[in-house]
Amino acid sequence: MSDLGAILAVSGPRASGKVPVATDTGVDGPVAAVDGVGGGRLGPDGLVRCPWGMSTPDYVAYHDEEWGRPVRDTVGLFERLSLEAFQSGLSWLTILRKREGFRRAFAGFDPEVVAAFGEADVERLLLDASIVRNRRKIEATVVNARAILALERPLEELIWSFQPDTSARPVPRMLADVPAQVPESVALAKALRKAGLVFVGPTTSYALMQACGLVNDHLADCFARGAAGG
């Protein structure tokens, strides 16, 4: 049986490399480009969204209500760090649809509870079909919970200290304008690894920044841009 403390950091790209990837054709009807404005798409409800946020009800809700909104609490950030790690090599839609299962399996992502998980808990979770049953990722979640408890300052303080200067960032008009990583995400990944966290490469760190509002990568004509952080 592998020692939880022996897991190595992994810094691989997300399945999308930038933003969640949507492949279905539409939500209750077709979508249309908004000519001359940007890369957003007009949905059947009359709202312009980032194209990836159009394909399924799961993506619509995540895009409209959560992605890019500021997250500044330890539990919320630990959950998103964990889900980003589990997503590696998979579609984000898979993670969204298993999210409640992850929350049940990992005690609502309370770091104090997860940090106490042992090998018996890992074996239990490997039998839990409501989550992604990957031993290294399960063990990494436990390692990360322990590392978070050992931080010298709160996780939210550490992560938000790497927020990029948003005033110097051009507003993305097309998906091609959205980077996969930035110097600040490289530095954040380095700081997290130094603190003992794993599965936190620069691309994963940038995806975290996007999801948690440290940057605002909603496209210029997306209706949700005004409500997001960054």
Q: Mean pLDDT, to the nearest integer, of 30-43?
A: 64
Catalytic residues: 62, 84, 92
Residue 49: strand pairing partners: 41
In the prediction, which pLDDT does 229 show? Answer: 72
Higher pLDDT, 4 or 95: 95
What pLDDT, in 10s, does the model give residues 63-97? Answer: 999 999 999 999 999 999 999 999 999 999 999 99
Q: Mean pLDDT, to the nearest integer, of 155-176?
A: 94
Q: Work out the percent of the chain whose per-residue pLDDT is above 70.
A: 83
Higher pLDDT, 227 or 205: 205
Taking all residues of the chain, what is their mean pLDDT, rounded to a whole number?
Answer: 87
In the prediction, which pLDDT does 230 show? Answer: 67
- The answer to whether residues 221 and 38 touch, using CB atoms and an 8 Å cutoff, is yes
In the prediction, which pLDDT does 19 show? Answer: 67
Confidence of residue 17 (pLDDT cuts 50, 70, 90): very low
Third-level CATH fold of 68-227: Endonuclease III; domain 1 (1.10.340)
What residue ranges do the domains of the chain occupy? Answer: 68-227
Distances (CA, A) of 144 to 48, 59, 77, 98, 205: 37, 27, 12, 20, 14
What pLDDT, in 10s, does the model give residues 49-60? Answer: 999 999 899 999
Tokens of 2: 């592998």
In the prediction, which pLDDT does 228 show? Answer: 85
- What ranges in 48-134 are assigned the alpha helix state H? 57-65, 74-87, 92-97, 99-105, 111-115, 119-125
